[in-house]
Chain A
Amino acid sequence: MSPVAILNSKHFELTINRLCYQLIENHHNFENSVIIGLQPRGILLAARLEKRLSKILNKEHIQCGSLDVTFYRDDFRRRETPILPSVTDIDFVIENKKVILVDDVLYTGRTVRSGLDAMMAFGRPSQVELLVLIDRRFSRHLPIQPDYIGKSVDSIASERVLVEWAEVEGEDKVMLFTPNKEHG
């Protein structure tokens, strides 16, 4: 696999900033809006958005939670080993709120489908939007499209997109891995 950088740390920062301003256009001061990050990697993006939005809006508390979709997935018993659940932490009411679901990479759309199901166990939001950092276009299995996109990528199934975070891996960047032809 030879990695190609899709976003370096500078572009990463700019992209997050742009996404925040796009959110503010639609959600104003987040009075009636909440952010929910999908476990495991969407929560890092959700936390970053929350931090930046608080700074821009000069607002202390923007409601931000994390949602685990393990038990709502459609590939149970289609894998070798069971998927182990992560923590769900939604300590606010989503009933009649505008929810922004957040994930790092949108690929087949199946995780987001599970996320929509899992979220409904917490109430009936007035509206749900989807924000992703990377949209792998043309690879959807389900009719799901994001409302906010950090960057769109055209990639084939054998390729892999990896988002790295300064908090976890030490640097913000997005890489595209393509399998080497000579190694098949």
Chain B
Amino acid sequence: MTEPAVLIEGLEVRRGGRLVLPGITLPVGRGRVTGLLGPSGSGKTTLMRAIVGVQVVEAGVTTVLGLPAGAPELRRRVGYVTQAPSVYGDLTVEENLRYFAAVLGVDAGRVREAAEAVDLRDRLGQVVGTLSGGERSRISLATALLGEPELLVLDEPTVGLDPVLRRDLWTMFHALAADGITLLVSSHVMDEAERCDELVLLREGAVVAASTLRELRDRTGREDLEEAFLALAEESG
């Protein structure tokens, strides 16, 4: 078995005086789509920030692609998309992508490919501030695709998107995974679990389960993931 893309050991994070992650240990498999599921406030974003290396942590070791999380070498190899789209609202789609392409040092030709991947090619000349919320999160995602990262950390990338586009994005995620890219995708919508290779269920900063959907169903005897989650939550107290 190859070493995991991400290995988290005893990670503790305190935010605003509260222990948000009280000691998580978790591997994330390479070349797979791992879904990070849990209710809002369960620590999904904090965990993702720790993996990307932008979170101040209290204790624990997070290894990403064989290096400590946040190592300068990883800035080129890890793509991170925050929940709120972090792009310049007063620039056009193309200007945004061109700027981030220049920062990453990738060919300007990647701009069109990235826009194509999120179905924004006909919006290239439009100012981002005039786009819909869904389009804005897609350009944020396109920005992360520019550098052809080995690990993509996506915080709720499909929230508020139309079902057709959501399906297309998940198809793209799996195509990326087939190319060997590791994806960690968070969601608070349980029905997106169907689309993930692996699931990590998070509740109050603790990993309630980390397995495939099938294993989860077998273990709890529940078909519905919402109910399976409830069963596990009660089991763990």
- Chain B binds chain A: no
Which A residues are within 8 Å of any B CB, using their own CB?
none
Which B residues are within 8 Å of any A CB, using their own CB?
none
